[in-house]
């Protein structure tokens, strides 16, 4: 399976290189460092959200409430900045992260310990979290003029030509790679998604792993909530509406199996980058907005189909091997008789 994943990642990387080259040949401005930096900045939140969603999908789950979590956490951070402008920036960011963590833990606890199907649970909390934004903000929105200067300035700072969200995304990606590949809890997520029965016999607590996955998803959504609100300078109930579908699409394009137990950090990042480039390239190619959504959807659908076919290939290889083993077993029985 690892070889298949490497092949997918290599193929996706080649598609990205060829695609960027073709677009750059048509519009050279697309290859300018400033434009590349803008693409990475625009995609930084998708990088982190896709990684968090991957952790959930590894356990055979799904989190449809991540965008609503992002919006609610961002609103809470914005309200702190509005009413308590002298609050240190670190505390404002922690407000978003901790609120996202709590919202994620609610999902994880009800799914893990009450057995509620993930798609049903997170679809319900999606509506609840969106509704809470309206209640907390009393139907109003927080604009840039009402937010603190430091609150808005941090995501716009740049180092070596890359903005703060990009550097945060790089750090988060490294942490996810270390967690999933070098820690027992991270490997346990793969085990639970790959074979829950075997994982249980090995002493891995599936409920705890699910709670951990949704908690991570919530915390990352909270962090992204702050970055989104502070960067765009507005907080209201409809921000990032439908963004959860883009996040899931990035995971699927990157080779994460909806069936659980399969997925890599590199593949997920490539999937997010693929979507980021497609969404950025279409306006550069002067394609009308009416066609942009249709083309984006077609590209995502094609990637999903390719991914699904790739997952079925190993199954075809097992059958001949099983027949051979069965034939050898029958020959041994006849020899003993």
pLDDT at 134 over 60: yes
Amino acid 240: pLDDT: 87
Alpha-carbon span 309 to 110, nearest angstrom: 33
Q: Which of 107-111, 146-150, 174-178 shows the lowest per-residue confidence on average (mean pLDDT)?
A: 146-150
Q: Does the pLDDT at position 261 exceed 90?
A: no
Residue 289 lies in a domain: no
Q: Tell me what the mean pLDDT of segment 218-231 comes to.
A: 93
The reply to whether 32 falls in a domain is: no
Q: Is residue 8 part of a domain?
A: no
Asked if residue 225 is part of any domain, the answer here is yes
CA distance 267 to 253: 8
Q: What is the pTM for the complete model shown?
A: 0.84
Residue 315 lies inside a defined structural domain of this protein = no
CA angle in degrees (0–180, nearest 5) for 255-304-58: 40
Cα separation, 309 vs 317, in Å, equals 13
Q: Would 242 be classed as within a structural domain?
A: yes
- Residues with Cβ within 8 Å of 132's Cβ and at least 6 positions away in sequence, in order, are 72
pLDDT in tens, 23-81: 777 777 777 778 788 888 889 999 999 999 999 999 989 999 999 999 999 999 999 98
**Overall domain count for the chain:** 1
The pLDDT of residue 306: 66
d(CA 129, CA 140): 15
Q: How many CA atoms lie within 13 A of 98 on its CB side?
A: 8
111 in a structural domain: yes
Report yes or no: 51 and 206 within 8 Å, Cβ to Cβ. Answer: no
Q: Which pLDDT score is estimated for 322? A: 45
CA gap 270, 206 in Å, rounded: 29
Q: What is the mean pLDDT of residues 147-167?
A: 88
Residue 317's φ and ψ, nearest 5 degrees, are -80, -20
Is 126's pLDDT higher than 90?
yes
Checking DSSP bridges between strand 162-163 and strand 158-159, what pairing results, if any?
antiparallel
295-325 confidence digits (pLDDT tens): 667 766 776 676 666 655 444 444 444 454 4
Is residue 333 included in any domain, yes or no?
A: no
Boundaries of domain holding 70:
37-276
Percent of the chain's residues with pLDDT above 70: 83
User: What are the residues whose beta carbons fall under 8 Å from the beta carbon of 310, sequence distance 6 or more?
Assistant: 4, 8, 255
> Which helix (DSSP H) or strand (DSSP E) does residue 169 occupy?
helix 164-182
> For residues 304 and 257, what is the distance between their CA atoms, to the nearest angstrom?
10
Is residue 292 scored above 70 in pLDDT? no
- CB-CB contact of 148 with 229 (8 Å): no
Q: Given this model, what pLDDT does residue 18 score?
A: 83
Across all residues in the chain, what is the average pLDDT? 82
**What pLDDT score does 76 carry?**
93
Query: Among 8-17, 175-184, 226-235, which is the least confidently predicted range?
Result: 8-17
Q: Which two tokens stand for residue 300?
A: 């995502």
């Amino acid at each position: 399976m690892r070889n298949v994943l490497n092949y997918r990642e290599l193929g996706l990387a080649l598609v990205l290189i060829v695609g960027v080259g073709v677009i750059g040949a048509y519009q050279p401005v697309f290859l300018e460092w400033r434009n590349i930096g803008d693409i990475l900045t625009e995609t930084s939140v998708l990088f982190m959200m896709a990684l968090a969603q991957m952790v959930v999908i590894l356990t055979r789950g799904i989190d449809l409430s991540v965008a609503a979590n992002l919006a609610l956490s961002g609103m809470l951070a914005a309200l702190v900045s509005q009413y308590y402008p002298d609050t240190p920036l670190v505390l404002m960011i922690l407000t978003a992260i901790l609120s996202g963590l709590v919202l994620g833990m609610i999902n994880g606890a009800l799914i893990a310990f009450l057995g509620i199907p993930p798609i049903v649970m997170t679809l319900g909390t999606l509506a609840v979290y969106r509704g809470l934004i309206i209640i907390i903000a009393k139907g109003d929105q927080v604009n840039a003029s009402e937010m603190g200067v430091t609150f808005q300035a941090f995501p716009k700072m740049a180092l070596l030509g890359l903005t703060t969200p990009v550097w945060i995304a790089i750090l988060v990606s490294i942490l996810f790679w270390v967690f999933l590949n070098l820690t027992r809890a991270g490997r346990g997520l793969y085990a639970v998604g790959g074979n829950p029965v075997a994982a249980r016999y090995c002493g891995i607590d599936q409920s705890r792993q699910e709670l951990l996955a949704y908690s991570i998803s919530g915390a990352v959504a909270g962090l992204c909530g702050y970055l989104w609100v502070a960067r765009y300078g507005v907080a209201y109930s409809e921000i990032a509406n439908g963004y959860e579908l883009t996040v899931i699409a990035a995971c699927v394009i990157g080779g994460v199996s909806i069936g659980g137990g399969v997925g890599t950090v590199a593949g997920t990042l490539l999937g997010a980058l693929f979507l980021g480039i497609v969404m950025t390239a279409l306006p550069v190619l002067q394609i009308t907005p009416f066609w942009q959504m249709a083309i984006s959807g077609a590209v995502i659908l094609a990637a999903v189909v390719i991914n699904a076919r790739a997952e079925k290939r190993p199954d075809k290889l097992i059958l001949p091997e099983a027949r051979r083993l069965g034939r050898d077993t029958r020959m041994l029985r006849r020899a003993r008789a």
